[in-house]
Amino acid sequence: MQHFQFATKLTYKRKELGVTQEQLAQYVGVSKAAVSKWEKGQSYPDITLLPKLATYFNITIDELLGYEPQMTKERARIVYAELTKKFSQQNFHEVQQEIEALLTEYYACYPFVLQMAQLYLNYYKLADNPTEILQRIDELCQRIIGQCGDLKIVYEAEMLQAYVKLEQGQFEQVLEILGEEARMQYGAEHLIAIALAMRGDLEKAKETLQVSMYQHMLGTISSATNSLQHEIINLSYFDATIQRVEAMMQLFAVQKLNMNAGLIFYLQAASGYVQQQREQQAIEMLEKYCQICLNIKFPIELRGDSYFYLLDNWIAKNIHLGAQAPRDEQSIKRDLLASITKQPIFAGIVQHERLQKMLSKVVKHLQIEEEIL
């Protein structure tokens, strides 16, 4: 009962009602000394007395105990950030024990359970047995899907579970979860925005449309990026995709707005060029990747800009982590460089003079030890 605040709560409620320890003892049917020990935290009442005490103060048993089964969004974000830092300072098993203790306490707080599943996914490769952690993520997602009544959270859990299945090589299960056909987009956001404007809520209508544009823009870039790997032999389509995505990223300042989308695109483009044996184009893509790295400011936060000027409020309300990055700063920095230097596909070009100069600048900017090269 270390997380309970029963003694404090009992004392506060008794004084709030203006009753003495003796009066409360008489009502419950115990001695005054027993009530005194409860308020000092020296003992707890028999479990059968809790309903009677809660009724006396007109509160729930959870309120009487000072127990909160649901973690607030603000607290969850703080806990998540603290745990990401611990992954860079402690071994995986130690942090895992802390996560599991929190899950035991907040197992019915489904937004928090989802966050812990996401956290595991971001760091599972550090575990001694990554396969076991993937299985644990799957279990957490399945609990949310089976028990949570919030359709939005359930959908996020299904997407996370599908990603885990991909990591496990279970592609058929991914298709069972998500289906095999692209879903029709009916533009519900447009109707919502029109309805909000008719109601007089113009700011909310504008926010809805900005969020819709933002998500569709990133979705287009993501789909185009993924398509590159499947169009390696179709050079004209491959080149046209790169030209169009770069134009779109420049138009919407994606490198600053959502740098991860730009980083993934340039890595995928460089990988494709290597497979096509077009070395100079691959180096150019990796140079652009490095340029994004040089423009990163820490701590990384997901924010809108002068065009998507209503995005911040939506991010704060709808994204579980808010604006904060999903991993700790040191892990992000290491992976930014390792995405080039540790990838076998880039082994033939990583020592190129032009690329080495850019990588040296990245190392200096990110303040990473030289030996990682």
Break the chain into its structural domains and give their ranges. 6-65, 73-178, 204-372
CA angle centred on 330, ends 325 and 336, rounded to 5°: 80
- The verdict on pTM exceeding 0.75 is yes
Instruction: Say what the pLDDT of residue 372 is.
Output: 45
Domains 6-65 and 73-178 share a fold: no
Q: What is the mean pLDDT of residues 92-108?
A: 94
CATH of 73-178, one of 1.20.1740, 1.25.40, 2.40.30, 3.30.70: 1.25.40
The predicted-structure confidence for 329-342, as pLDDT tens digits, reads as follows 999 999 999 999 99
CATH of 6-65, one of 3.90.1150.10, 3.40.50.2300, 1.10.3720.10, 1.10.260.40: 1.10.260.40
The predicted-structure confidence for 126-144, as pLDDT tens digits, reads as follows 999 999 999 999 999 999 9
Q: What is the pLDDT of the chain when averaged over all its residues?
A: 93
Contacts made by residues 58-64, CB under 8 angstroms, sequence distance 24+? 59/13, 63/9, 64/6, 64/9, 64/10, 64/13
What is the distance between the alpha carbons of residues 225 and 232, in angstroms, rounded to a whole number? 12
